[in-house]
């Protein structure tokens, strides 16, 4: 029999007389004896049903009553609500994105964006290289003897154009030393970051020039890169510096010998004679100076830098320059005043180089004589005419015979420096005369430096080369004197 007028404690001690079923709570009345039964939180049903009592509520099935903003898990008398991955908080109230999740999401988005951007950029770059290759004449040039390099190959060869590999720079580009596959050293001419139309025209023009040249005293084009907007020109690497460096910067043993000075002058003359008389079409270098005359490991001449060179058709004697280009001291005065560039402009520049070679002074420099400043070229000319050449040369002749040959070379130089281009000799004539002096030079002269003789070019070979070049010119049916009488552009 159930007793209702007792307390919960007393009633629960009497199992048979306790009215509350399973999962219930017993509460005493506050206003008198007795108690009542209630389902525990999380349970519902009839608390007075002794056999079944209160049953667990599955809160996950009643989200409108028991909210959950994450993953709901039912428990006896309760439930849990876990926030989704990357979020934090009480899922029964609200879930917020965690800082870590935000960072991870940002990283994922950034990685995705970078990956897509890289794919797009690489696709664009590959197509751009293909367009540049075709636009720069790659389909035609790849069938020539010149080697085609990729942009990546040259970047690797020059250590990404590191300043430590820079050999020099000019108005339109810088030259970098590089090492390509097979341990071959090259010089890569890379355009400067100036207006594309100017640079591109200059480099394509230079490419057109050097493709015409094949001479042992002219620097050889080793290859070309056509993948860039402006082609990269790859020349053979000349290891022994410029003539300018040997004259003005180094205590060069090679120039202690008159024979070597004469040989260098002769080889420059042979290169210019080839360009003027044997190249098809003829080439005016336009910027002959000691900086553009390189010396290889055997101290043989390699004429370089054809950025200002021009091709001239046989029916014309000159071109009218839109702007004067060149280096003060080496520029032909006639070209400077009229704007007409001819092969005789190269002859004057050659004469200025020989003056520099004999005097050790830059062509634009002045010396003071009797209180008057005189340009070194004018002083050289007057010294030759007054038979006082020994006053101006910067080396000592080994004998009277050698000094006589120095004088012969100086007289040829003076003719090259005539103010009138028409009166200057052609380069083929100059080359023949210098080669003849070289051949006739007394071979018994004792060199001041014995090692120099091992690197010298045989004098007879120079004369033979000059003679063969003359024969080649005749076979082409052309004489340089032609340019003096032909019509102007």
Specify the CATH number for the domain of residue 225: 3.30.200.20
| 73 within some domain | no
Domain boundary (221, 237, 253) is at: 237
Average pLDDT estimate for 396-415: 90
Least confident among 139-148, 248-257, 306-315, 317-326: 139-148
| 88 within some domain | no
Of residues 370 and 467, which shows the higher confidence score?
370
**Residues 469 and 273 sit within 8 Å (Cβ to Cβ):** yes
The answer on 447 and 345 residing in a single domain is yes
| 470 within some domain | yes
Q: What are the structure tokens assigned to 222, written together?
A: 């080793």
* 37 pLDDT more than 80: yes
Average per-residue pLDDT for the chain: 81
| 268 within some domain | yes
Of residues 354 and 318, which shows the higher confidence score?
354
| 126 within some domain | yes
| CATH label of the domain that carries residue 318 | 1.10.510.10
| 179 within some domain | yes
Q: Does pTM top 0.85 for this prediction?
A: no
The answer on 47 and 163 residing in a single domain is no
pLDDT for position 2: 65
Q: How confident is the model at residue 488 (pLDDT cuts 50, 70, 90)?
A: very low
pLDDT for position 458: 46
The answer on 399 and 308 residing in a single domain is yes
Q: What is the pLDDT of residues 201-235, one digit of tens each?
A: 566 677 778 877 889 999 998 888 877 777 888 99
Cα dist from 485 to 171, 318, 422, 472, 482, whole Å: 34, 11, 10, 22, 6
Q: Cα(385)–Cα(379) distance, rounded to whole angstroms?
A: 10
The answer on 439 and 349 residing in a single domain is yes
pLDDT for position 17: 80
Q: How confident is the model at residue 43 (pLDDT cuts 50, 70, 90)?
A: very high
The answer on 391 and 251 residing in a single domain is yes
The answer on 332 and 202 residing in a single domain is no
The answer on 218 and 273 residing in a single domain is no
The answer on 197 and 185 residing in a single domain is yes
**Residues 69 and 83 sit within 8 Å (Cβ to Cβ):** yes
pLDDT for position 1: 57
Q: Which of 264-278, 319-333, 448-462 has the highest mean pLDDT?
A: 264-278
| Preceding peptide of 281 cis, ω within 30° | yes
Q: How far apart are the first and last CA of the chain?
A: 136
**Considering its fold, how many domains does the chain have in total?**
4
Average pLDDT estimate for 257-275: 94
Burial (Cβ within 10 Å: 0-12, 13-18, ≥19) of residue 364 = middle
Q: Cα(436)–Cα(85) distance, rounded to whole angstroms?
A: 93
The answer on 292 and 430 residing in a single domain is yes
Closest CA to 121 of 111, 113, 109, 133: 113
pLDDT for position 193: 63
Domain boundary (109, 135, 161) is at: 135
pLDDT for position 130: 61
Q: How confident is the model at residue 280 (pLDDT cuts 50, 70, 90)?
A: confident
Active-site choice (56, 287, 418, 480): 287
Q: What is the pLDDT of residues 284-302, one digit of tens each?
A: 999 999 999 999 999 999 9
**Residues 17 and 46 sit within 8 Å (Cβ to Cβ):** no
What angle is formed at CA 324 by the lines to CA 136 and CA 481, rounded to 5 degrees? 90
Q: Which residues contact 484 (CB under 8 A, 6 or more apart)?
A: 317, 422
pLDDT for position 394: 85
**Residues 478 and 276 sit within 8 Å (Cβ to Cβ):** no
Q: Cα(456)–Cα(259) distance, rounded to whole angstroms?
A: 9
* 469 pLDDT more than 90: no
* 397 pLDDT more than 50: yes
pLDDT for position 201: 53
The verdict on whether 193 is a catalytic residue reads no
Domain around 120: 98-135
| 140 within some domain | yes
Least confident among 305-314, 338-347, 366-375, 399-408: 305-314
The answer on 226 and 102 residing in a single domain is no
Domain boundary (237, 272, 301) is at: 237
Q: Cα(128)–Cα(228) distance, rounded to whole angstroms?
A: 8
Q: Cα(119)–Cα(149) distance, rounded to whole angstroms?
A: 24
Burial (Cβ within 10 Å: 0-12, 13-18, ≥19) of residue 99 = exposed
Closest CA to 210 of 200, 198, 218: 218
Neighbours of 436 (CB within 10 A): 17
Q: Which residues contact 217 (CB under 8 A, 6 or more apart)?
A: 267, 268, 270, 271, 274, 300, 301, 302, 303
The answer on 394 and 354 residing in a single domain is yes
Q: What is the pLDDT of residues 152-168, one digit of tens each?
A: 899 999 999 999 999 88
The answer on 147 and 110 residing in a single domain is no
Burial (Cβ within 10 Å: 0-12, 13-18, ≥19) of residue 370 = exposed
**Placement of tokens 């120095």 in the chain:** 406
pLDDT for position 144: 55
Q: What is the pLDDT of residues 83-140, one digit of tens each?
A: 987 788 888 988 887 777 778 888 989 999 988 888 888 777 666 666 655 666 555 5
Q: Cα(305)–Cα(86) distance, rounded to whole angstroms?
A: 64
């Amino acid at each position: 029999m159930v007793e209702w007028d007792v307390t919960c404690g007393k009633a629960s001690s009497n199992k048979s007389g306790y009215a509350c079923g399973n999962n219930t709570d017993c509460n005493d009345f506050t206003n008198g004896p007795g108690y009542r039964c209630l389902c525990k939180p999380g349970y519902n049903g009839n608390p007075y049903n002794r056999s079944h009592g209160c049953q667990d509520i599955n809160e996950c099935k009643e989200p409108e009553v028991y909210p959950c903003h994450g993953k709901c898990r039912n428990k006896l008398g309760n439930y849990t609500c876990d926030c989704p991955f990357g979020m934090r908080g009480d899922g029964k109230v609200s879930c917020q994105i965690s800082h870590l999740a935000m960072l991870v999401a940002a990283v994922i988005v950034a990685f995705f964006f970078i990956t897509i951007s890289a794919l797009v950029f690489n696709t664009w770059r590959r197509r751009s290289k293909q367009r540049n290759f075709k636009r720069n004449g790659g389909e035609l040039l790849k069938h020539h003897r010149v080697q085609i390099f990729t942009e990546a190959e040259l970047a690797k060869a020059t250590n990404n154009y590191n300043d430590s590999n820079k050999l020099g720079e000019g108005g339109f580009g810088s030259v970098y030393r590089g090492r390509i596959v097979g341990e071959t050293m090259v010089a890569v001419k890379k355009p400067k970051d100036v207006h594309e139309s100017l640079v591109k025209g200059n480099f394509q023009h230079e490419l057109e020039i050097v493709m015409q040249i094949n001479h042992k005293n002219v620097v050889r084009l080793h290859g070309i890169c056509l993948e860039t907007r402006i082609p990269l020109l790859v020349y053979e690497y000349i290891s022994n510096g410029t003539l300018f460096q040997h004259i003005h910067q180094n205590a060069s043993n090679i120039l202690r010998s008159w024979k070597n000075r004469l040989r260098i002058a002769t080889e420059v003359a042979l290169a210019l004679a080839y360009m003027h008389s044997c190249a098809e079409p003829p080439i005016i270098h336009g910027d002959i100076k000691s900086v553009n005359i390189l010396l290889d490991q055997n101290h043989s001449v390699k004429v370089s830098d054809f950025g200002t060179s021009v091709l001239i058709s046989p029916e014309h004697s000159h071109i009218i320059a839109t702007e004067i280009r060149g280096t003060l001291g080496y520029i032909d005065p006639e070209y400077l005043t009229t704007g007409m560039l001819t092969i005789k402009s190269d002859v004057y520049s050659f004469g200025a180089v020989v003056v520099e070679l004999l005097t050790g002074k830059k062509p634009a420099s002045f010396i003071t004589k009797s209180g008057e400043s005189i340009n070194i070229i004018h002083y050289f000319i007057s010294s030759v005419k007054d038979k006082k050449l020994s006053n101006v040369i910067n080396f000592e002749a080994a004998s009277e015979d050698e000094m006589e040959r120095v004088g012969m070379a100086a007289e040829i130089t003076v003719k090259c420096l005539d103010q009138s281009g028409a009166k200057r000799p052609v380069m083929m004539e100059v080359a023949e005369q210098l080669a003849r002096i070289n051949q006739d030079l007394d071979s018994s002269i004792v060199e001041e430096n014995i090692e120099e003789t091992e690197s010298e070019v045989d004098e007879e070979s120079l004369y033979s080369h000059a003679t063969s070049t003359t024969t080649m010119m005749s076979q082409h049916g052309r004489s340089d004197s032609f340019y003096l009488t032909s019509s102007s552009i």
